[in-house]
Amino acid sequence: MKYLLLLLALAAPLAATAQQDPIYAQYMNNPLLINPAYAGSNKMFNASIQYRTQWAGLEANPSTFNFSSHISARNNKLGIGLNVNQDKLGDTKNTEVSAAYAYKINLKDAVLSLGLQAGFFRYSNDASLLTIRDPGDPSFNSLTETKFNVGTGALLKSDRYMVGLSVPRLIPTSVSQGGQSIELYKQHYYLFGSYVWFLSETVRFKPSLLLRGSAGAPISADVNATFTFREHYSAGIFTRNFKTYGLLMQASVKKFKLGYVFELPGSPASSLNFVSHEIMLGISMGVFTYHDQGVKTF
């Protein structure tokens, strides 16, 4: 537990929010989305697909698709992973492909993982999807550019708790269009933690917290609380900045797991009074003799 407190203390100065990055309500189901150090952390082979539609019913609303996979290697000393993300908003589309690597250090009662990721980010916009008053305006020309980026993270994990700190994209990136600079993203910091209480032989309680940070904006916080029954069924609630609220549900059948999130805005006066949906389908299994079998806590 002392390592958990140390990592949280080191992250205390972080500030601000990560609104340029895609938002995932089910980040605890697959922390690899935000932290490369999670690669191979559950000592199994894992793969999942995830789809999120933000503010469903709003024209040209944001939507995000993700495929990720990771595996524990070299007698569980290393982890290797792959992330493919596509984020759409109106006429713009961001596609990212990155590979992750994690090195694991066994401590007395936990494992410390240090991770790196590297990949390419492709930004594109399609002006044909817009209604433009002046078709000759260079600010609305179609554009496609590809950028390279790297990221890093650290993760401390035991059977009872998990805490991680990461910067998935270290290099601030922008593109130029019509003489204007468009900022694609800047450094975003992620700090998350979770702890499991075994209330009985069949019921577990798992609260979690995720903080997102970037320079020049307020901190964004996700607070989750879930109950797991007989290791295979989970249900809970969450809030994002106490402005958005939602329900989380997950079921595991043998090697497969299915997760669903329903979100709704907390303020009836919100100008974006639309619900959001997120669904995830994954598989986890041991493929090498040194891999673990069965359902994992994290």
pLDDT in tens, 127-140: 666 666 666 655 56
290 within some domain: no
* Residues spanned by the domain of 212: 2-13+32-285
43 within some domain: yes
- DSSP assignment of 238-265 equals EEETTTEEEEEEEEEETTEEEEEEEEEE
What is the count of structural domains for the chain? 1
Question: Can you tell me the distance from the alpha carbon of 158 to that of 243, in angstroms, rounded to the nearest whole number?
Answer: 32
Question: Can you tell me the distance from the alpha carbon of 27 to that of 48, in angstroms, rounded to the nearest whole number?
Answer: 12
Pairing outcome for strands 78-89 and 92-106? antiparallel
Q: How far from chain centre, in Å, is Cα 87?
A: 13
25 within some domain: no
205 within some domain: yes
pLDDT of residue 58: 79
Any idea what the CATH number is for the domain that residue 179 is in? 2.40.160.40
- For residue 88, what are its two tokens? 């759409």
68 within some domain: yes
pLDDT in tens, 7-32: 444 443 333 333 467 788 888 888 99
296 within some domain: no
pLDDT of residue 149: 93
Closest among 115, 97, 70 to 283, alpha carbons compared: 70
Question: Can you tell me the distance from the alpha carbon of 163 to that of 82, in angstroms, rounded to the nearest whole number?
Answer: 21
Q: Residue 270's beta-bridge partner residues?
A: none
Rounded to two decimals, what is the model's pTM? 0.86
pLDDT of residue 60: 75
203 within some domain: yes
Which residues of the chain register pLDDT less than 50?
1-19
223 within some domain: yes
Closest among 30, 26, 32, 22 to 261, alpha carbons compared: 26
pLDDT of residue 191: 97
Q: Is 208 left (phi over 0), alpha (psi -120 to 50) or beta?
A: beta
